[in-house]
Structure 1
Amino acid sequence: MRKFSILFIFLVCSNYMFGQQPVITNTDELINYVESNQSNIRGERYVNVNGSPFLTDGFVASKANVGDQWIDAELRYNIYEDNFEMLKGDKTIIIDPNTVDLKEVIQEGKHFILTSYNRGGGWMKGYFQLISPGKKSLLLKDKIQLIRPKAEEAYKGAQPARFQKGADSYWLLDQSGKAEKLPTRKRKLPEAFGDHVKQIEKYMKTNHLSAKKDEDLIKITEYYNSLD
């Protein structure tokens, strides 16, 4: 009974979060809605950190799907914080996916989707690049890590904090809307698809495909989606 009560409260809260969002048809409406939560507005950040956490140098023209309504907007993707941002004056507006139903963003030839993914045994939401859609879709997760500052040492000066490019990872999204990280070992990859394991193994062997190469993962995913 207690589990049912907790689930009921979660569903009510989830419906409240996204059910109360008004229909957003343009950038101004999106800004006004996000600004209603002052915690989403921030001044200059990362002033003492070298490098950049962003995918692009600036805000770029984008197509955004907000609550199933497509609008034009100037956005940039913060890889480190895993959210999209807008600019108003000198203030950066954070689009929190937990309060704003920003489902998809298309910019500069890249298609981002918001989905649930398994991180260390727990489920959370995040943005992924959609690489190859289908029954099971191939996704790419960008990574930027923050390297902490180091104090001055003998014969070595102090080092400021910096953002550093991490290893991107590939994920497989099923039709339930949940993504699991793909293994990088060739033997393990076919099992990640759940079915047609023997056929995938044979296809990989015949075509000399790797579990680590971008183009090979696309071929394998497209092959799986072509099977009945």
Structure 2
Amino acid sequence: MKTTLIATVFFLTGISINGQQISLGEISRNAKFNKTIDEINNGKAVLKYSDIQGNPFYKNGFNNAKVGDTGTILPVRYNLFKDSFEILNDNDIYSVPKDNSFSKFTFLSSNEKFILDKDNDGIAGYFLILTEGHSKLLKKFAVKFIPEIPAPNTMISGTPAKFENLKPVYYLKTEDNLIKISKKADDLINALPTDKKDAVKDFIKTNKIKLTEEMDLIKLTNFLNK
């Protein structure tokens, strides 16, 4: 790793991320940026992303994003396949560590905000915030790599390697919990605090809310924030 990476990215000064002052020395000791390459091991072969069908990134190229709640702006991209944010420094790409110092990225062009949280299995990952408030609707993206299937013979063609977008998963983040939303309303209702259960049940029934529809989930979350 280039010794100048941290200095270049953080302008040789201490910065405040998410309200916490972090000195250059602390970043150098603890950030542990890892250099990454747009390649994937596919059995005996190593494939470049450019040789694989599909797109493993949330947006094409690197886009300016605000880091945390500060004015620090960096060129980043969100790698859905690796579930990691990556920074461009000169011609090198570095993966940002998943820790509290880098727990929020807001793309300037779209104002889309991603936060770092833990899913039901305790695995840290990034989620897109769809609604703000004491209850938040979060959207989790993912991409799966499907290896190449060689042609078994000259009569049957093979299948090239590709990245495939998985169906997004939605979560309701309350002040105390992160609830994975399934198709069943009862699963969501049972996970809510007791004082919310009846009101949410009535709202879902009255407004014919479908938990598989993003706009309906936004309506439901906005109701919880009233």
- TM interval, shorter chain, is 0.7 to 0.9
1:132 aligns to 2:131 (yes or no): yes
Rounded Cα–Cα distance in structure 2 between residues aligned with 1:224 and 1:25: 32
Equivalent residues in 2 for 1:180-191 (5 A)?
180-191=179-190
3-state secondary structure, aligned to 2:217: helix
* Structure 2 alignment gaps of length 5 or more: 1-12, 18-22, 41-47
Name the Cα RMSD after superposition. Answer: 2.8
The CA deviation at 1:39 is 6.5
The CA deviation at 1:115 is 1.2
The CA deviation at 1:160 is 2.5
CA contact (8 A) 1:145 1:166 kept: yes
Q: Which residue of 1 aligns with 2:88?
A: 87
Percent identity, aligned pairs only, is: 24
CA contact (8 A) 2:32 2:97 kept: no
CA contact (8 A) 1:53 1:79 kept: yes
Task: Please list the CA deviations of residues 131-187 of structure 1 after superposition, one character each: whole Å capped at 9, or x if unmatched.
Answer: 1122221111012111122121243223232101110010011224x5231112234
CA contact (8 A) 1:114 1:125 kept: yes
* Structure 1 alignment gaps of length 5 or more: 1-21
CA contact (8 A) 2:33 2:94 kept: no
- Higher mean displacement: 129-138 or 43-52: 43-52
Rounded Cα–Cα distance in structure 2 between residues aligned with 1:86 and 1:165: 22
Task: Please list the CA deviations of residues 199-218 of structure 1 after superposition, one character each: whole Å capped at 9, or x if unmatched.
Answer: 11111111111111111111
Rounded Cα–Cα distance in structure 1 between residues aligned with 2:35 and 2:29: 7
3-state secondary structure, aligned to 1:50: coil
Q: 1:206 to 1:49 in 2, by over 3 A?
A: same
Q: TM-score under structure 2 normalisation?
A: 0.75
Rounded Cα–Cα distance in structure 1 between residues aligned with 2:53 and 2:101: 31
Q: Which residue of 1 aligns with 2:54?
A: 51
Post-superposition, which runs of at least 4 consecutive aligned residues in structure 1 deviate over 4 A?
Answer: 33-39
3-state secondary structure, aligned to 1:128: strand
Rounded Cα–Cα distance in structure 1 between residues aligned with 2:85 and 2:71: 15
